[in-house]
Amino acid sequence: MPSVCFYFHVHQPVRLKRFSLFDIGREPGYFDEKKNAEILRKVAQKCYYPANNLILELIERFEGRFKVSYSVSGVFLDQAMDYEPKIIESFQRLANTGCVEFLSETYYHSLASLYSEEEFFEQVLDHMLLIARLFGQVPNVFRNTELVYFDYLAHLIKRFHFKAVLCEGWDAILGWRSPNFVYETQGFPVKLLLKNYRLSDDIAFRFSNKDWKGWPLTADKFANWVHSINGSGQVINLFMDYETFGEHQWENTGVFNFMRHLPAAILRHPDVDFVTVSEEADRYHPVGTLSMPYPVSWADTERDLSAWLGNEMQQATIKAVYALEEKVKDTRDLELLKTWRQLQTSDHFYYMCTKWFNDGDVHKYFNAYERPHDAYIYFTNVLVDFIDRVEDFLAGMKVANKQQEAPRIVFEAPVADLNIPVPGIDLPVPGVELPNAVARQLGQVGRAQ
């Protein structure tokens, strides 16, 4: 019988203000802190607190036989620490059970893997440091933003010696093969853990749909679907947004009650168990290799990048953002660097999506604006203002003759008191300029035996 692996992604973007043309050069801040705090607290009450309490209850009830994995964006964690720190405490209680694993991802939920190797590398390092500091774990499995995977990503993450990477089990890639097996990347060998999108989406998207032939979905019914895979798979990877519970599927749909009874229903079969992503990678040998020469994501019916890069507005703005990398890092200014990275968050470009057919309802639900063109206008205005700020800063440096050599300061975290080793990270990394501050931090962590 296969193992069951629950993986949840936790993320909330920092939303922009309605930044008008007349705000350029006048408005000091770009982000709607009031709105961001309001949304985070609302979702915390509907999802994060009740869902975390339920997961903790299940872990304790089944005495560690129930396990889950999380990927929590740095953008989310920053907001939680600023607006609702008790959320962090609730995740720390889960971490302390020994039945919860935290994955690595890009700190700012960005598409840096497509545009800048250096920036991708630095964001992953920053995120690993934050997870270690908050939850006492060093991630050894990677999940890219929006589950984007392509062959070259294996080359990028090999520098961290991750044992596995998550990706979508998409039919167009798998062909006759099943997502219920562990595979291996082409080239540099990293295990590929594939989402069973049919069973995952039964919970994440179809649970409350009364027109769906599987409605109403009960724990026993879903467990029978899991048990039916007996003999035809190693694992069943149920990957979904954590906001499925209470936010996308409201409490009155019965989704919490469904989850409360699901582990018992699945564990009725004596050969079934729950595993974290690392346990899955350790236990099962790959049955073959998979190649994805072009990026595959978990979004929309196409499973490609069109949700973020499908039109000229999206393509132009994201290219303009990454074109600023050298200048922003030359400023060696932490505030400008953080703002630039916040502008990389993929949600900004998702809001500009103009696909309104099969995926229209999904894009409308997640959009912070009435029209995608509004998202483009506000983002462009912010970008124009930010470019002016960067240029003015560099001009001031030149006038003050401050262009002497200095290390790039990318991340300063209080990690000296950590007692956690970071095994297997190559220092220095060939082909990538490792910021001195980060190198020192990883050196401190690695020596703290």
Bridge partners of 165, per DSSP, are 142, 192
Q: Is the peptide bond before 286 cis (omega within 30 degrees of 0)?
A: no
Catalytic residue selected from 146, 168, 243, 280? 146
Q: Has 146 been annotated as catalytic?
A: yes
Q: Is 225 helix (H, G, I), strand (E, B) or coil?
A: helix
Q: In this structure, what token pair is assigned to residue 328? A: 């922003």
Under a CB-based contact definition with an 8 Å cutoff, are residues 126 and 110 in contact?
Answer: no
Separation in Å, CA 131 to CA 90, 182, 202, 299, 414: 14, 26, 30, 26, 12
Structure tokens at 53: 């309490």
Which residues neighbour 306 within 8 Å (Cβ) at sequence distance 6 or greater? 300, 353, 355
Whole-angstrom Cα distance, residue 442 to residue 297?
31
Distances (CA, A) of 314 to 222, 286, 306, 352: 39, 37, 9, 6
Backbone angles phi, psi at 240, to 5 degrees: -160, 165
Which residue is it, tokens 């043309």?
21
Tokens found for residue 397: 């440096």
Q: Which residues are catalytic?
A: 146
